[in-house]
Structure 1
Amino acid sequence: MNYALMVLFGLVPFWFCVNLGATDSTQINTTIHEVLNSIEWIEVPAGNFLMGSETEEVSALDLEASFRGAMVDLQHTFDSEKPLHQVYLPTYYISKHEITNAQYKLFVEENRRPKPRGNQGQDIWQEEKFAGSQLPVVGVTWFDAQAFAEWIGGSLPTEAQWERAARGKRRNTYPWGNGSPRSRQHANFARRYDGPMPVGQFPKGSTAEGLEDMAGNVWEWCMDEYDADFYHNGPSQNPINLRHRDILYPRVIRGGAWDSGRIFLRSALRFKFFPLDSSHSIGFRVVRPSSKIPKTSDF
């Protein structure tokens, strides 16, 4: 689908978008300034890190999933984590928490955007367990999430940015380290709370750099198209996969959610979802600045 048709059908935002990195109050309106001031940013310094998983790790995951009687065949999902490879990323900033309903509501009101939608197309803010102001916003498509990110001068994280932020420099299995989440102190998962929790409720699940809720609570949209083989032939410098540039092509989601099992909380796990669909368990966070992150208008 070409860009003109995307605009016609309302799939591409055409309002003013702030340049990446612009924070000066003279360049942005009051509402954007209010949202930016409500977001705490964590710096991720430039450098190399190891992304993905080794063959032995993937084999162990296959065995564990079989032992636990997984309802779906996850072998292909785990295989997409191979090979373990080195990636270089320049410095970037990422929001400490997932974007909240309160922050997203300002975006909706300012730009006359549709409200988040549930699995049946309903107004998800009418459901109490998804409506709290400090809950992570869910029910947003990939395009909704990217439009919000552009509005405040940022972007969705690339898959590499997300994994580096979640794993840290030590290639941790989970954001907090390598120990399994055996209590409610690390993350919201496995329907223990029957819905998302307000952001920042699990400080013991934080990364070494201070990011919270990178495992569980809600899945998080990434910029990239999903390609199970991308690690085999993708670039090692600031990689991003937008090879198809197709609005129907699945996008990457990461991190697991409130209704996910423990195995989905691993920071290397890659999952996918269609970009025009929304879910009660998918939200997002934002990165900024990054000079080569594309905008929706590039599609």
Structure 2
Amino acid sequence: MSAIAYRLMGSADPKAPVVTLSDGVAAPKGMAWIPGGEFMMGSDHKLAQRNERPAHMVRVRGFWMDQTHVTNDQFAQFVQETGYLTTAERKPDWETIRVQLPPGIPRPPDSALVPGAMVFVGTDHPVNLNDASQWWQFVPAASWRHPQGPKSDIEGKGDYPVVQISFEDAQAYASWIGKRLPTEAEWEFAARGGLNQATYAWGDQLMPEGKPRANYWDVRKQLFPVAGNDQANSARIKVGTTPVRSFPQNGYGLYDMTGNAWQWIADWYRADYFVIQHQQSGKSVIDNPQGPTDSFDPSDRTAPIDAPKRVIRGGSFLCNEDYCISYRPSARRAQDPYSGMSHVGFRLVKD
């Protein structure tokens, strides 16, 4: 293995992981070696949601992982060399949309099927948090180039995570660069950074020494979802992604494994997947799980329970103590693989 290894500064634990970064020979630069091993996947912590339970033993093999989200600059290079158009930049296909909707929904007129994506628009006053449609909106012409809509852009944000990326877009980029999306097991093992069953990717305290360790919504400063965005040009607080590497790396040398932007995972989403794994394995260790073969999401009342969905992990700048405490390594969520959102990006791995 051709790499550069070091131990994190300030680590007093002789058993702490050694950060191993590629020098461009064993793997592309910008990747960290994740040594693999056994760990307790999922969580039975009081903050854990039902789909994170029960915690169960898993073994993963070693792999390389991008230290950061794929950035706007990196994705722009891919688009420049291939001419690729993301799903948000294409006219939507009704047959693809239909599978995510309740049966019987009539087909909209062609004039309504326009390129665009979902954008966090916030509200101007406190609202009931049971209805996310109050702060999310489909915005025509929103895309990775214009994350908040046509009046926004990514100028000066080359080192920000690329967002408004669908699962299909992430797969296309991965194929071009010779990498792949991580499995759920690989992602969680890497996110924990050697801290088995810690509540957060950096330990058990949300704000060690009073300092945030990730980009998430601080409800002490602003009530969720009261916020402005670039498109609205509001006087309300602006929220969004931050440059990669803005917060300390974890034990494996990875940045922003939680917070900033959700990350696409290779696995199909099943809400009961951890229960199934636990029942099938008994007390044995599950070796290198590759995820379920289908989708199951009974919590989404706007779509059939078996609508095709992929896993996203890590939470985003919108996660907060009042609504979405998903800036935890065990947190998981379902996502329509054909749609982009202004808080969903990705990072890749390599065998």
* Common topology (TM > 0.5): yes
Matching of residue 97 in structure 1 with residue 68 in structure 2: yes
Change (3 A) 1:116 1:125: farther
Matched, 1:286 2:348: yes
Q: 2:318, 2:211 → 1: CA distance?
A: 14
CA contact (8 A) 1:138 1:281 kept: yes
Structure 1 window deviating more from structure 2 (174-183 vs 83-92): it is 174-183
Structure 2 CA distance for aligned equivalents of residues 167 and 286 of structure 1: 17
- Using the TM superposition, give the Cα deviation of residue 184 of structure 1 relative to its aligned residue in structure 2, in angstroms: 5.3
Q: How do residues 235-254 of structure 1 correspond to structure 2 at under 5 angstroms?
A: 236-244=286-294, 249-254=308-313
Superposed displacement of residue 135, structure 1: 0.6
CA RMSD of aligned residues (A): 2.6
SS of 2:145's partner is: helix
- Tell me whether 1:190 sits opposite 2:217 in the alignment: yes
Size of the aligned set, in residue pairs, is 235
Question: 1:130-162 deviations in whole A, cap 9, x for unaligned?
Answer: 551111000010011121112211111111111
The residue type paired with residue 89 of structure 1 is: V
Question: Given the two structures, how large is their TM-score scaled by the length of structure 2?
Answer: 0.61
Shift in CA distance, 115/144, structure 1 to aligned 2, threshold 3 Å? closer
Give the letter aligned to residue 315 of structure 2: G
Residue in structure 2 matched with residue 199 of structure 1 by the alignment: 244
Change (3 A) 1:245 1:80: closer
The offset of 1:61, in angstroms, is 2.5
Q: Which residue of 1 aligns with 2:40?
A: 50
Aligned to 1:265: 327
Aligned-residue offset at 1:255:
0.8
Contact 1:141 1:277 in 2 (8 A): yes
SS at match of 1:136: coil
Asked if residue 61 in structure 1 is aligned to residue 9 in structure 2, the reply is no
What do residues 74-113 of structure 1 show as CA deviations (whole Å, max 9, x unaligned)? Answer: xxxx111111111111110110000000000111121211
1:194 counterpart SS class:
coil
Q: Which amino acid aligns with 1:61?
A: L
One-letter amino acid of the structure 1 residue matched with residue 185 of structure 2: A
Structure 1 position 230, deviation (Å): 1.2
Shift of 1:171: 2.3
Distance 1:230 1:245 in 2: 10
The match for 1:177 among 181, 203, 214 is: 203
Q: Decide which moves more: 97-106 or 109-118.
A: 109-118
Contact 1:181 1:187 (8 Å CA) reproduced:
no
- CA distance in structure 2 between the aligned counterparts of 1:199 and 1:116, rounded to whole angstroms: 24
Distance in structure 1 (CA, Å) of the matches to 2:180 and 2:64: 11
Among 178, 195, 202, the residue aligned to 1:153: 178
Q: 1:205-244 maps to which residues of 2 (within 5 A)? A: 206-234=249-277, 236-244=286-294
Cα drift, residue 248 of structure 1: 5.4
C-alpha displacement of 1:272 = 1.2
Q: Contact 2:206–2:212 (CA<8 Å) still a contact in 1?
A: no
The answer (yes or no) to whether the contact 1:95–1:286 under 8 Å persists in 2 is yes
For the residue of structure 2 that corresponds to 1:107, the secondary structure is: helix
CA distance in 2, matches of 1:249, 1:213: 27
Shift of 1:114: 1.3
The aligned residue for residue 301 of structure 2 is: none
How far did 1:242 drift? 4.3
* Conservation of the 8 A alpha-carbon contact between 2:295 and 2:309: no
Distance 1:200 1:116 in 2: 28
Instruction: Report the AA paired with residue 34 of structure 2.
Output: V
Question: Shift of the alpha carbon at 1:276?
Answer: 0.3
Letter in 1 for 2:311: V
Q: Mind listing any 5+ residue stretches in structure 1 that lack a counterpart?
A: 1-22, 25-35, 63-77, 290-299
Aligned partners of 2:182 and 2:244: how far apart in 1?
18
Contact in 1 for aligned 2:270/2:292 (Cα 8 Å): no
User: Alignment partner of 2:47: what SS?
Assistant: helix
- Higher percent of residues as helix: 1
Distance 1:144 1:124, change over 3 A: closer
Structure number, greater radius of gyration: 2
In 1, Cα distance between equivalents of 2:87 and 2:244? 18
Number of the residue aligned with 1:133: 158
